[in-house]
A and B are shown apart, each in its own frame.
Chain A
Amino acid sequence: MNLLLSVEGVRVNYRTERGEITAVRNVSFYVDKGDILGIVGESGSGKSTLAYSVLNYIKPPGKIISGSVKLEGVGDLLKLGKEDVRKVLWKEIAIVPQATQNSMNPTMDVKDHFIDTMAAHGQNDKQKILETANRLLEEVKLDPQIVLSAYPHQLSGGMKQRVLIALSLVFEPKLLILDEPTSALDVVNQRLIMDLLKALHQKMGISIIFITHDIQLIKGFANKVLILYAGKAMELGDVNEVWNTPLNPYTIALLKSIPTLHGDVNSVSGIPGSMPDPYAEITGCPFASRCKFAKPVCFEKDPDFLEYKPGHFSACHFSKDIGDNYG
């Protein structure tokens, strides 16, 4: 089997003073070996929460209500105890968190970060650790001589991001999750990181989940894409297929809101309205109020996430019609 990770019906709620809000609504997706899956969503879409629930790492007031996350060779991560999850973290799945500017201990140098991380999983041979660190830092185009003894505040944002990517590879995990790895960086560093990741993926064959708000970053990088809206999975499929023949009105509207270099400027436009109030009870489809295809049924019944073409899923009552018209 080629299947590496399968996520079924994950639901995450947050308890706030004003009541419960649902951050992730019964999301399902899967990752094959060697995949680069892009998870795309705007602010409030629950994309980070989804990534952390894959690691069974949701802190109160958040709570995983239901679902399963099965990793090949490990089983359902959501059923594991805290200590068992700890052993899986970084060895099997590594995550580079979003706020990398502050993701390193300010009182530890880079070398200590490598030593601590590898010692946590039983690797105590300092010589070996340093060898690994040297090799990986070179891999991400950093000079180990300088970087290993540097403290986080002495590194630029782009350098910190690369250190963390190097750190995430120490055990060559099966799956690497990157949460908005470029959003805090300028364009130059963004491109550098993307090229780096592409090279690492080719060289190590590592599977990647790439979370971003910028759908344009996905094109030409990922092979599969999952599109989230208000905590709900709207569409999942091969990147080119989703791009060329989207099955979901939200995807269509999202792609239409991106200007191009040669097309007619009047054929693109933003999506009117805004994300639904997280505190409001949503009946029906969360996108219905902004959707130009919306019919009465959309406000009454939440559409299921169904496979319309092989490997191409969508959550919309009219995906079939859309598919017929577009295709």
Chain B
Amino acid sequence: MNSQDKGVEKKSGQKSQNPSSFTVFWRNKYARIGLIITVGFFVMGFIGPLVYPAPKIDLTEIFAPPSLAHPLGTDYLGRDTLGDIIYGTGYILEVTFIAALIGTGIGVAIGIASGYFRGAVGSLLMAITDIVLTIPGMILILVVASVVRSGNPLIVAGVLSVTAWAGFARAIRSQILSLRSSIFVEEARLLNLSSFHIIFKELMPNVMSYTAINFIFSVQGALFASVGLYFLGVLPFSAYNWGVMLSEATSFGGFLAPSLAVYLISPIAVITLFTVGLIYLSFGIDEVFNPRTRRR
């Protein structure tokens, strides 16, 4: 019960050392798993292609079952599935992290601006946010992608961010609104600290954990959406792409091949694994930033 252990809690940890952020993070089992998975994907994306041979067309090995030479079997052109996955990782990382950067960046900027600077500018920004917020993202992304039709990671990331920022901007705004009227901000004003100081040194640290977690969920959203767009064939065909793999699994008569299961499940499994890693990572970040848990 809250009131019961308040007295006990208030002073706990008084003489404790401040454990470093990483120690707190690493102590959390989920955070550990999440970090290992995420780092694993970066290794796979950027070092994988240097050590693993590029998949080659081999018409004698069409839809081969898993073997030593092809740990995950082959596709309808006899290309190595694991190679497809590894060589497709870099592009996915690029697109999803750029998209998350754009979406989170716009969200923070608009959220803080509309929360801190009240008046006409703030109201206008919030009205725009409210409108974007109610537009179903996937539909708009699909339509924009259908017109743009480019596979350039920067452009794809831009398309994916069209609506992704709005919910986040709104959440940041409401946090900033309550923070800006808080007593510690008032005290900073009394010490005549600048708006720059108040925004970046007083307010930002308080929304950092939320921002970091939102970044991670944006990566996940961009992952689902970008692979989905390739799966639907809306974005141009490209070699080494998880979405294209899924799309090809359903076409080219592949559904009838006996070993299709592995080929079909491989990209789904890596997407799922990556997402689980990201979610677990967010648990750890929550623990590092959350002052209530940091104390322990």
Contacts and interface: CB of A to CB of B under 8 A. Distances in A.
B7 interface: yes
Given A17-B296, A18-B296, A52 B12 contact: no
Interface residues of A, number: 28
Contacts of B13: 18
A14 B1 contact: no
Contacts of A45: 7
B3 interface: yes
Given A52-B1, A59-B1, A99-B2, A18 B7 contact: no
Interface string A173-199: 000000110000000000000000000
B14 A277 contact: yes
A278 B8 contact: yes
A44 B3 CA distance: 11
B180 to A, nearest CB: 23
Nearest to B7: A44
A58 B8 CA distance: 14
Nearest to A97: B3
Interface residues of B, number: 16
Interface of B is mostly: helix
Given A17-B296, A18-B16, A18-B296, A44 B10 contact: yes
A113 to B, nearest CB: 19
B5 A278 contact: no
Given A43-B10, A44-B10, A277 B3 contact: no
B7 A62 contact: no
Contacts of B4: 48-49, 52, 58-59, 62
A278 B3 contact: no
A277 B15 CA distance: 8
B12 A48 contact: no
Interface string A31-45: 000000000000111
B296 A278 contact: no
A14 B5 contact: yes
B6 A48 contact: yes
A98 B2 CA distance: 9
A13 to B, nearest CB: 10
Contacts of B8: 14, 21, 23, 44, 46, 49, 278
B11 interface: yes
Given A17-B296, A277-B14, A46 B1 contact: no
B212 to A, nearest CB: 24
A44 B5 CA distance: 8
Contacts, number: 59
A279 B14 CA distance: 9
B7 A43 contact: yes
Given A17-B296, A18-B16, A18-B296, A278 B1 contact: no
A27 interface: no
A130 interface: no
Interface in A280-297: 280
B11 A44 contact: yes
A260 interface: no
A312 to B, nearest CB: 26
A279 B1 contact: no
Contacts of B3: 48, 97-99, 179-180
A14 B6 CA distance: 12
Interface in A1-18: 14, 16-18
B82 to A, nearest CB: 42
B1 A18 contact: no
Contacts of A46: 7-8
A275 interface: yes
A17 B296 CA distance: 7
A108 B111 CA distance: 34
Q: Which of B4, B7, B15 has its CB near the most chain A CB atoms (within 10 A)?
A: B4
B254 to A, nearest CB: 52
A58 B5 CA distance: 10
A57 B3 CA distance: 13
A278 B12 contact: yes
- For B1, B2, B5, B8, the residue with the greatest tally of chain A CB atoms inside 10 Å of its CB is B8
A67 B162 CA distance: 64
A278 B11 contact: yes
B294 to A, nearest CB: 12
Contacts of B10: 43-44
A45 B3 CA distance: 12
B171 to A, nearest CB: 22
Given A18-B296, A43-B6, A48-B6, A275 B1 contact: no
A290 to B, nearest CB: 15
Contacts of A58: 4
A49 B5 CA distance: 7
Contacts of A47: 7
A16 B12 contact: yes
B5 A277 contact: no
Given A16-B296, A21-B8, 10 more contacts: A21-B12, A23-B8, A43-B10, A45-B7, A46-B8, A49-B7, A62-B4, A97-B1, A277-B14, A278-B11
Interface of B: 1-8, 10-16, 296
20 contacts: A14-B8, A16-B12, A16-B296, A18-B16, A18-B296, A23-B5, A43-B6, A43-B10, A44-B7, A44-B10, A48-B7, A49-B7, A49-B8, A58-B4, A62-B4, A62-B5, A97-B1, A99-B3, A277-B15, A279-B12
4 A-B pairs with least C-beta separation: A98-B3, A44-B7, A43-B7, A48-B4
